[in-house]
Each structure stands twice: as C-alpha cells, then as structure tokens.
C-alpha cells in the first residue's frame, strides 16, 4: 500500500488467482488492473478505487490488539489509515443529557462509514472531554477503534477486568488531533452544554480552542509528549497498551533508529503506563535521516517540531536546535573552512583548515577512544587586516567516555615546542575548535605548566557536521553508548 502514490497492489504467482482477486474487487465496486507475465502478476487499484479498497481492509483487516500478525499490522494496516482517511465519514451527535446536577454532561456520538456504524459516549467531565466505547464483543471494540483511527484519533483497545469487557477511550488532546468533522461535532456538544449552563465557560473556551485549531496535523501518529525537564528536551509516547508501545517501536526501527542508542522502551506492566522515549541522539539521527534517509523520518521530525511548537516558545527553540544539529551532520567539508575569523581571549584569529580525519582507537585501559586530527593554518590578526604568526600544524583532540553519565569529553594538550610556546599554541587550538564548531573550548592551566584544552559533547556534535569526521564520530558514539536509568527515568548519555 502507498498512501503517497494512492495505490494498493496485490501480488500472485498465478494469473488465475490475480484474475480472481480482480473479480472479487469488482463485486465491491472496485476496479483493479491485472499486470504481469510468467509467474509474477500484480493486481493494482489506484485513485478512488484504492481508497475504497484501503477502507475495506482498514475496517475488516487484522485486529489491532496483541496477537495479530505484527508484520501485517506494521506494513499494511497502518498504511491503510493514510489511504482510507481520504474518504468521507459521517459523524453526528444527539441527546445531550445530564443525569445528576453534579454529574458529567453526556451525549451520543455516531461515526459511520458506508453501512458500518458505531455509537460512542462523549462525556464532558470537569477537566477533560472523554469519548468512550465499551462492549463485551471484542470484534465490535476493534471496529470502534478502526473507525476512530479513520477519524484521525489515536485510539487503542483495552481489556477491563477479567469479565471479557473491552474499552476504547480517547480524551481531549487526542480528540483535538482528529479530523475536522469529528472536532466540529464535539465542539457543538461543548457549545450546547455551555448554553444549558452545564459547563464552565472558561473550561469550554479552553476545549474549544484546542478543537478549533487542532493539536496535530499528522494523521496516523499517536500523541508524543514534548517538553523541557531541567532544560533538556523530553520526547515521549506513553500508553497502558502494550500493543501501542510495540507499534511505535516497530515504526522507529523501520525508520532507522536503534533501541538503547536512539530511544528507550518500557513496556506496560500491571495496568501501569509504559513508554517510548526518544533520546537526544535519536532526534539528531532522525533529523539526519530526514535529509539522507526515509520519508518516514522526515514526517516524524516535522511532527515532533509541530508538537514542540504547541508546547511553547522555549520548547520549540530547543527542538529546532537539536533538529538543526542533526540536519547538519556530514553536510560540510573541512576544506569549507577558509579564512574563518574568530575571537579567542580577546584576540582575533584567522583559520584555514587543510584536511583531517577521525578514527576510534583502543587505549591501554581498555576504553575505546576517538582521535580527531585536523591540519590547519592559524594566524593572529593585528590591526585591521595584518595576519601575523601564521602556523601550520596538525592538532589532535582525543575523546573518551567519562563519569557516571558516560559523557563524551575531548582533551588536547598544548605543545611547548610550538611557535610562541604553550600559551600561543593553546590559543591557536582554541581558535581552530571555535572555527569548526562555533563554540570556544575550556582551557585549563595546570600547576606544572601543562595547558589542557577541554571539549564537550557540543563540540563533538559540531565536528560531526563535517563529512570527513561524521561517520567515525557516529560509529564511536554507538560503540561506546550506554543508558542510565533511575526510578524509570532514562538520561541520555550525552
């Protein structure tokens, strides 16, 4: 299935089977073309016929719950959402009611597609809008879930207790992420409740704002939480449904992200919530893939940026900063740095990079280090334009993993035999690092006269923008990465 191309195709090794499929489609008013020869035949439906076929598959295909064929759920059912969502749904509501003076406002909302119809309960509680469907018929609950997904709402089926009861539920934010027809119907319920004096106008205005503008433009994606914790960006999807967590894990893996390197997972247990958390390295890599890899990565990054924008200016800026870093990985050449001017220690320097590279190396302690070697000409500027003390040499910066957080830290030592001595060499190296990464390193002067230049992960990310260094840096980060988790919260090793 391809939502982008608007096509649905089936393959068979026998022409008779392919013709049989085409005939079966015609029975449902779907025209499909049979193509191929020898022992490879394709049955292709496109345009409106593809949409109709996708909707049939979406409504009556494999179940969404755990136990279905995961390959089918991943590669077919979710793509049917993209095609099936292009068709029209009939969404309506009736019978606004309130059983007690303090009880929630309730209404019946119906979603129908063709001859398929499901009635849901909508409750306006004090702090949330809740859409709910409850049934002892698992198949009916699955159908209710499929229709909600067709309406753009990320919904899941959960078993309630041990009496064979199944529940489908979606609250305010997920409903606000749905299609306009659904949001409009729920907004009408809210307005009518305000007219009756059953809902606080301030609460209603907050709900209506979400419903009218919509919280997400991306259909088929669950709601990821995006926010800041102690200045760090947190991107996480939480759910009590194991199948929902597994679906996101499959999606991220298919995109090219690696578990425990780019994201961490906790499965739901005992009715509690599980989560998929995207680490900083994961968002950086997804941003890189959005330029060099799959369209799914580009869609994911766009979605996360949109969610970040919905959470406020600070969150948006932080997410954009990380994404931009990822998009820059490998985008430059070292030779692009020619005549770059930077200020270090109140002095102006001009830097021209001649070449360089990076590679992981073993150390005597058993650690894997990363050595970055850069050959450059660095000169100091006097007056307006005069460049003096031009020095060409190879500089080496060695990164390792240190501390309980496994932080990536790089060190270089100024050479005493360099022109001008250690101080001049340290300033030239600091100027080179700033010219390449945009950030000045820290310079530490030891009691014995040794001068050490220290780089952080930010500098390493800056080095990764250069094609000659990017692959080795990525490989080293992956080989030396590990996660630390305390009380269910994982911290990025960066």
Per the domain annotation, does 487 fall within a domain?
A: no
The mean of the pLDDT values for the chain is 82
- CA–CA separation, 67 vs 88, rounded Å? 30
Distance CA 341, CA 190 (A): 60
Q: pLDDT tens digits for 452-464?
A: 999 999 999 999 9
> Which of 303, 328, 353 corresponds to the end of one domain?
328
- Angle of helix 280-292 relative to helix 295-310, nearest 10 degrees, comes to 130
Per-residue pLDDT reduced to its tens digit, 388-436 = 889 999 999 999 999 888 899 999 999 999 999 999 999 999 999 999 9
pLDDT number for residue 478? 83
425 and 298 in a common domain: no
Return the bridge partners of 388, or none: 380
- CA–CA separation, 130 vs 172, rounded Å? 6
* Domain-located, residue 38: yes
With bands split at pLDDT 50, 70 and 90, how would you rate the model's confidence at 479?
confident
- Whether 119 is in a domain gets the answer yes
Whether 358 maps to a domain, the answer reads yes
> Do 185 and 125 fall within a single domain?
yes
Residue range 260-288: average pLDDT?
A: 88
Are residues 138 and 62 both part of a single domain? no
Residue from 301, 358, 303 nearest 324 by CA: 301
Query: Do the beta carbons of residue 133 and residue 202 sit within 8 Å?
Result: no
Q: Are residues 104 and 28 in the same domain?
A: no
- Sole residue written with tokens 């240190």: 402
List, in sequence order, every beta strand (DSSP E) within 98-128. 105-113, 116-124
pLDDT of 53 reads 63
Residues 41 and 109 in one domain: no
Fill in the DSSP letter of residue 332. Answer: B
Total structural domains in the chain? 4
Tell me the per-residue pLDDT of 190-241, one tens digit each, with 9 for 90 and over. 999 999 999 988 999 989 988 887 655 454 577 788 999 888 999 999 887 7
Segment 280-306 shows an average pLDDT of: 86
The pLDDT-based confidence of 151 (bands split at 50, 70, 90) is: confident
Residue at which a domain ends, from 217, 240, 255? 217
Q: Is the pLDDT of residue 363 over 80?
A: no
Q: How far apart, in whole angstroms, are the C-alpha atoms of residue 448 and residue 463?
A: 30
Residue with tokens 């578990």: 259
pLDDT at 57: 61
Kindly state the average pLDDT of the residues 309-337.
88
Domain co-membership, 342 together with 468: yes
CATH code of the domain covering residue 67: 3.30.70
Query: Is residue 492 pLDDT above 70, yes or no?
Result: no
- Greater confidence (48 vs 442) lies with 442
488 located within any domain: no
Structural domain that includes position 265: 224-328
Question: Are both 443 and 366 inside the same structural domain?
Answer: yes
**Are 473 and 338 within one domain?**
yes
Shared domain for 339 and 472, answered yes or no, is yes
Same domain, 414 and 466: yes
Q: What's the predicted TM-score (pTM) here?
A: 0.50
Question: Among residues of the chain, what percentage have pLDDT more than 70?
Answer: 81
79-129: pLDDT as tens digits: 555 444 445 678 999 889 887 777 889 999 999 876 678 999 999 988 889
Whether residue 181 sits in one domain with residue 240: no
């Amino acid at each position: 299935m391809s939502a982008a191309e608007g096509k649905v195709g089936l393959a068979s090794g026998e022409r008779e089977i392919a013709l049989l499929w085409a005939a079966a489609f015609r029975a449902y008013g779907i025209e499909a073309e049979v193509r191929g020869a020898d022992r490879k035949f394709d049955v292709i439906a496109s345009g409106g016929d593809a949409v109709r076929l996708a909707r049939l598959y979406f409504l009556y295909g494999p179940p969404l719950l755990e136990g279905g064929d995961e390959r089918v759920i991943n590669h077919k059912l979710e793509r049917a959402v993209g095609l099936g969502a292009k068709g029209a749904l009939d969404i309506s509501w009736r019978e606004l009611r309130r059983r007690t003076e303090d009880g929630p406002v309730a209404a019946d909302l119906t979603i129908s597609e063709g001859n398929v119809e499901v009635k849901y309960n909508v409750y306006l509680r004090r702090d949330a809008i809740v859409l709910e469907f409850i049934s002892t018929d698992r198949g009916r609950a699955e159908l209710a879930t499929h229709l909600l997904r067709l309406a753009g709402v990320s919904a899941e089926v959960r078993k309630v207790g041990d009496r064979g009861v199944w529940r489908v539920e979606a609250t305010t934010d997920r409903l606000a992420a749905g299609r306009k027809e659904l949001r409009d119907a729920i907004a009408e319920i809210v307005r009518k409740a305000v007219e009756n004096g059953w809902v606080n106008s301030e609460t209603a205005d907050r709900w209506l704002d979400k419903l009218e503008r919509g919280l997400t433009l991306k259909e088929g994606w669950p709601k990821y939480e995006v926010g800041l914790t102690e200045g760090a960006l947190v991107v996480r999807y939480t759910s009590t449904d194991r199948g929902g967590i597994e679906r996101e894990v499959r999606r991220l893996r298919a995109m090219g992200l690696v578990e425990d390197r780019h994201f961490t997972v906790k499965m739901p247990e005992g009715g509690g919530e599980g989560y998929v958390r995207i680490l900083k390295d994961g968002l950086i890599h997804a941003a890189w893939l959005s330029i060099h890899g799959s369209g799914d990565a580009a869609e994911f990054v766009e979605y996360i940026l949109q969610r970040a924008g919905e959470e406020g200016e600070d969150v948006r800026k932080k997410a954009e900063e990380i994404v931009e870093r990822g998009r820059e990985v490998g985008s430059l050449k070292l030779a692009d740095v020619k005549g770059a001017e930077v200020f270090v220690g109140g002095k102006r320097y001009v830097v021209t990079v001649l070449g360089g590279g990076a590679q992981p190396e073993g150390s005597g302690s058993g650690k894997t280090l990363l050595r970055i070697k850069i050959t450059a000409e660095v000169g100091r500027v006097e007056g307006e334009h005069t460049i003096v003390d031009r020095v060409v040499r190879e500089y080496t910066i060695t990164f390792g993993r240190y501390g309980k957080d496994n932080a990536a830290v790089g060190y270089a030592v100024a050479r005493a035999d360099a022109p001008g001595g250690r101080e001049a060499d340290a300033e030239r190296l600091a100027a080179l690092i700033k010219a390449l990464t945009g950030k000045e390193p820290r310079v530490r002067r030891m009691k014995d006269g040794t001068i050490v230049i220290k780089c952080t992960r930010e500098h390493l990310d800056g080095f990764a923008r250069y094609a000659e260094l990017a692959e080795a840096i990525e490989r080293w980060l992956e080989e030396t990465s590990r996660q630390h988790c305390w009380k269910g919260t994982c911290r990025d090793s960066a």
